[in-house]
Amino acid sequence: NFPHLFVKTMMISLPSFPAAFVRGGGGSREIVLRSSETDVGFVSSSSRVPLSSRCRLSLVCLRRRGEGERGSAPSLLRRRRGRITSFAVNAGTTPKSTTFDANDRYARTANPFYEANCERYVEKILVKVDENVVMKMKKNSEDGVLSRNDGSATTVAANGALPGGGDGGGDNTTPLKEERWEKIHLSTEDERTKGSMDVSVVKLSDAAFRVKVKLDCPSILNEQDALMHWGMIGQEDEDWKSPKHFVRSVPPNGREPDAQSEESKFLNGRDCFEHVFEFTNGYRGERMAMLIRSEDCETWLRDEGRRSHAILDFGRMAVDARGGGSQQRVAAAPAPNPVAPPPPPQRQEEDHHHRHREEDNNSHEQQQQQHNHNHNQQQSTNSNNGERVFAAVSNWVGDDVELSNNRKDRSSRDRNRWDTSNLPSFAAALVSNDQSASSWRQKLQSVEKLLCENDGNDMEDALAYSTIYLFWISVGAISCVEDGTHYRPNHHAGSAERMFGKIESIEGTDNMSTLAAIRRLHPRLPAFTAEFTQSVPLTRIRDIAHGKGDEHGKCREVRQEIKHTIQNKLHRCAGPEDLVASEKMLQKLTAPGTDYPKAFVDEFEIFYRELKEFFNASGVAERLEKLANQDGGSKSADAANAFLRAKANADYQNASLKSLLETLRLLHESRTEIVRSLESGNIQDMSARQQWRLAEISLEDYAFVLLSRCSNLLGAESEPPKQNYTSEEVSECLNALAVSFDTLHLSSKSEEMQRVAEDARKLAGESASFLGSNDGGLRVNAIAERAKRAAENFCDVLENLFTNRAHQLGPALGIDNYVVDIFTEGQIRASVVFQSAKLAGALSRASRNITGAQGWDCVVQSSEGDIVYPLRRVERLDPNYCRENITEPCILLCDSADGDEEVSTMGPNVMGIILSHALPHLSHLALRARQSAVPLVAVEDGALTETIRSFEGKNVLLRSKPGDVKIELTDAPVSGGASSSAPAVSTASATASTAATISIAADTSYANDPLSFAKLSESTLDFAVSVAGSKSAFCAKLEKLSSDSHSSPFAFSAPTGVAIPFGAMEVAAEEAGKTQYLQERLQILDSNVPEVDLEAARRELFALVENELRPSQEVYQKVLAGMGASANSKAFVRSSANVEDLAGMSAAGLYDSIPNVDLQSYDQFALAVSKVWASLYTARAVASRKAARVSQKDAKMCALVQVALKPECSFVLHTKHPLTESDQDMYAEMALGLGETLASGNVRGTPWRFDIAKATKEVTVKTFSSFGEMYIADDSNSDSSALQMKRVFCDDGNHWLTTDEKRRNDVVGAKLGGLGIYLESTLGNVPQDVEGCLLSDGTLCVVQARPQP
């Protein structure tokens, strides 16, 4: 049937085929491999095929001549990859079996499938490499016999059993024992999808195991293919490691999604997997960890029993195929000494779902082996088993790049499509241009035009889309094909040069998103140094194709492949596929057992290094060495050389943590010098600037590798997570964290990252005794919290920059969904921020071990003890969503809260709240939850959060007590019904309630007469409350108390102010002719009308008050008079409603306060007052009053004008401990800047928390501040700064509240504690909620005191 044959070398695994049989007649025999009734390969008697030691056999695959060439039909033959394993030769009558040496020619190859002339190939394989090891087929038995030239024979049994167990350890042919199958039940995390798999493990030799898996999961298999996502783990740990470090081969039908795992497809109807695992250094107890996923990555199955990845324990599960009569446990050999650097960073199950590395060539830098450059050898990248790693081939997701000895048609772009509908302008232009730009040159020029002609509008958009687009081109997701023209690579280089100039013009920005896009765009541009901009660049490949180095003509065949696949293609239409082709050719030239002339291989190695330079794919050492040699004597060159010397030591497997940290330090110094030279203009030549910039970026990529190794040595990636750290390890972890944030700061220009680095380094220098103390542990935790938060913020930047844009651009170009989905995650996980987060997590665990903390925090304790309800996850605490969708009692797991939510409006079914981040205990949200008797727990550890998320939909026990928090699954019955504290009427559309509406009186007779604090304090408290609200009344009283306290031990200050009484807003409405309009909408708010009508009335009311009602000039002048000399100062205009600061209804933070008001501007003053009035009608405020059954028309607002203070730090003090409810202890929280940092909860982090004993004023630190940011008034005097606060960075770690214990005890204990006791006794002997601040001169100021809720 095939008179004219071409051949491809294949590696085929026998178990991949249902049938393996013998055919032929006369004196010849063929072993035929059959799959799906199609003969796909054979070993013929006409071919003498050398075999390797128990591992591989080269076969030939048939195809018709011309198939796969231009214009021909697709091949009818199924191409398979695989390997024959455990093959031995039976010596027949000889007692011993003979195996083949792995050094035999053609014994082992990692080459892809190369086409060759059939006759030449047969000539090659007929070459007798070893006189004793040449095999020939003979007709000897029914099963098929392989014979040696010495007459000895071996049999391949019909059932697939191998002679002597396949390892030369036996003399007789032993049929395979009956397989033993073990079932593993599978489910997704939410248990909505379930399945199972049956697993069989057979031991073929001491180092080889055959694994079969049969998958049963109709919910996946009925719709799409399934894949096995797997890696290797040790005997005790569960850190995934790359299988390629342990086994000789992996299933050939898969891919390598990350540095720790493989993905293999299920075959035979999409439900079967089979492979023989042969351990390179012998089996030493390794286990196989796996997850099963759907092809679209939407469904991930794990071991249902373990609630984690499934584990195949070869030693426990294997049946020994070599006999013995019973199942035998496979013993593991002693572990060998490591021979190569550890694999890149490990990650647990959740981190194996989607993983992609942007710069694999840099991720393997730690494994580079130095070659002698005098012999023109480039630096190679090697895997742990010594095999060379080729990054371009590893990362390639495009069409297969084949080496060919004739020109192939490379014009197909079937994998892509072009749909510009619903795309933003830049993305639409990019897609439209791509349709007409078939080659890489045309695509580069298209991006160049769009970038360089951009006038600055939406530059971030342009940079982000360009980065994504060029990245997908570089890995083959977007096809580049020949365009029919002949343009040498210098045209590509010219386009890159112009783009680089444009990028540099905006690189001075401090915008983190823009910088992130730029840094990821630089490596996607080709180099434009002189050797690539000359008219005929990269000429070495022409000399190689013409025979340079091939003195005896042994390379004629590969030279033809080089000429047609690389040289001609590169010089007429270069593209990233040329780098892939060159790597494949280098694989072929350097494969074990080959004997290509060294001079020829060396020449190709040099060309490959040059080509990598053109594609900017060189490793950090290659790039730095070249630049340092070119620029010798400069500070940048000296710093680079210092780093390279340290790197040489750090690259050893057993490099110490100290050595790694020193290398990181020198790496940062080298980067710093490069950045300084680039920014100062010392490097003038633009091509040199590009190369130094890429060197600096490569250094950052290599920092990832070093930090990964540090993390491993520090146990940051161990499973279970390491908890017990010595003080020395804590110090080393802090140093590693510091250098990781140095690295991030240099790339992002983030001030917070710089401060984290400085604070971590300073804390690392503390004594071992301090780091092991409680205060030391708390300081470590504060740094860890800030680091995690900074890392999360940077990840958010990358998410916002790339995710939506990738999901817009990918489908428009026909990019595979998986490639689109993992793009952003690849950027994150390839970033130093990924390692920083792991180090921060390790420090959090170390801190908890030192302090005894739990990793979660009781913010509001449960008044009913343990509660049991189903867990429901929500993104935010949205009252409307909760009321409408939560119809059964449950515990909410909330991803994020801003600290200002109103718990009472959530409806009757919110029985408890678990918040996925830290929250001040005295924030508005915490106070409202406490008032509503809803227990609230803040989870401060990401791993705990993930565990709790897995409980969604199941009954959870929640215990919320100070120092005793428990969240766990339970079979206990649900606790009772809806919350007794919930309102009887929770929605406006509910049927009429029989509950009476509460009416609250207010005296509006002083509406046009603003009252100074002096006047209010002269009257009775009841009068002041009736005309201006309790807040104004108590503020006036505080001012009087402060003036009386100057000579007492409890001296404090209180700002002066003026109250604009109740009724002033109604007067303004009357003057504007809007009284009836106002009253009608208030009436609607108190009515039982549909929700949509209520919301419409509320919106109209809010807009009326904020936009149209203003206090009169008369009122304004009276306020100025009442403020006296303070009228020239900035002011706060605060709310003082008759429906806040009441017993049982604090309404903390429900109404607005307006900062930074210039009292010399009537417009600012009037607008601020209107905003305070309007806050009476926000959705939260209206819902809160409705929940409390307070009439909307009775709600009145007084605007309280007070002198603005400029605090060093603010505090909230409760004179009765809110968590323990002890009246013998007080509790204080403090933060730098304005009190908004504490009260709102908008700034992530924890404040300084102190317990203060009333009797002794003794201070116990509960936490140190980890905010890193604070609110201050915006004093920039711009139009936009009026009435505004702004967030700025703050240095909590070096503030005296953190570093000076004596001063802290004096201020917090003696002064603040004493003041709390004084105010409690003076204001009715009831516990007080006191808000105030500490000025820079040490003055304590109190701005508010009210009964503690």
Check residue 1100 and give its pLDDT.
95
Q: Phi/psi zone of residue 323: left (φ > 0), alpha (ψ -120 to 50 degrees), beta?
A: left
Can you read off the two tokens belonging to residue 648?
């040489």
> CA angle 712-795-350, nearest 5°?
55
* Phi, psi torsion values for 258, nearest 5 degrees: -160, -175
**The whole model's pTM is what?**
0.68
Q: What is the 3-state secondary structure (H, E, C) of 1141-1197?
A: CECCECCCCCCCCEEEEECCCHHHHHHHHHHHHHHHHCHHHHHHHHHCCECCCCCCE
Beta carbons of 437 and 484 less than 8 angstroms apart:
no
| Residues noted as catalytic | 924
In this structure, are strands 287-294 and 310-313 parallel, antiparallel, or unpaired? antiparallel
Check residue 1286 and give its pLDDT.
87
Mean pLDDT, the chain cut into blocks of 10 residues (1349 residues total): 34 37 36 38 35 32 33 28 29 29 30 31 33 30 32 32 34 52 88 90 89 90 87 78 84 77 80 88 87 85 86 88 48 36 33 34 34 32 54 88 78 80 93 93 95 85 96 94 90 95 91 95 95 90 92 89 92 93 93 90 94 93 91 88 93 89 96 94 91 96 94 84 89 96 95 94 94 94 93 93 95 91 90 93 92 87 89 89 89 85 84 89 83 88 86 93 89 72 37 48 90 90 91 91 82 93 95 94 91 92 95 94 87 90 63 90 94 93 85 92 93 94 94 88 87 95 92 72 80 93 95 94 91 93 89
Beta carbons of 1211 and 1312 less than 8 angstroms apart:
yes
Measured between alpha carbons, how far is 887 from 977 in angstroms, rounded to an integer? 11
In this structure, are strands 890-896 and 910-915 parallel, antiparallel, or unpaired? parallel
Beta carbons of 1057 and 1029 less than 8 angstroms apart:
no
Secondary structure of residue 1035 in the 3-state scheme = helix
Beta carbons of 1206 and 1132 less than 8 angstroms apart:
no
Beta carbons of 805 and 692 less than 8 angstroms apart:
no
* Phi, psi torsion values for 1108, nearest 5 degrees: -120, -30
Residue with tokens 């290509």: 596
Check residue 1243 and give its pLDDT.
84
Check residue 1143 and give its pLDDT.
52
Check residue 1239 and give its pLDDT.
81
Q: Concatenate the DSSP letters of all residues of 527-596 into one string.
A: P-SHHHHSSS--THHHHHHTTTT-TTSTTHHHHHHIIIIIIHHHHHH--HHHHHHHHHHHHHHHSTT---
Measured between alpha carbons, how far is 837 from 1201 in angstroms, rounded to an integer? 45
Check residue 141 and give its pLDDT.
29
20, 271, 360, 1080 from 251: Cα distances, Å: 19, 15, 21, 75
Can you read off the two tokens belonging to residue 1338?
């040490």
Beta carbons of 917 and 896 less than 8 angstroms apart:
yes
Radius of gyration in angstroms for the set of CA atoms belonging to the chain, rounded to a whole number: 37
Check residue 237 and give its pLDDT.
66
Q: Concatenate the DSSP letters of all residues of 410-456 into one string.
A: ----TT-----TT--HHHHHHHHHHHH--SHHHHHHHHHHHHHT--S
> CA angle 408-397-298, nearest 5°?
145
E strands along 920-1023, which residues?
936-939, 955-961, 964-969, 1011-1012
Measured between alpha carbons, how far is 1064 from 1077 in angstroms, rounded to an integer? 17
Check residue 1096 and give its pLDDT.
94
Check residue 935 and give its pLDDT.
93
Can you read off the two tokens belonging to residue 433?
């241009």
Measured between alpha carbons, how far is 237 from 217 in angstroms, rounded to an integer? 29
Measured between alpha carbons, how far is 149 from 126 in angstroms, rounded to an integer? 13
The count of residues in the chain is 1349
Strand partners, 264: 228
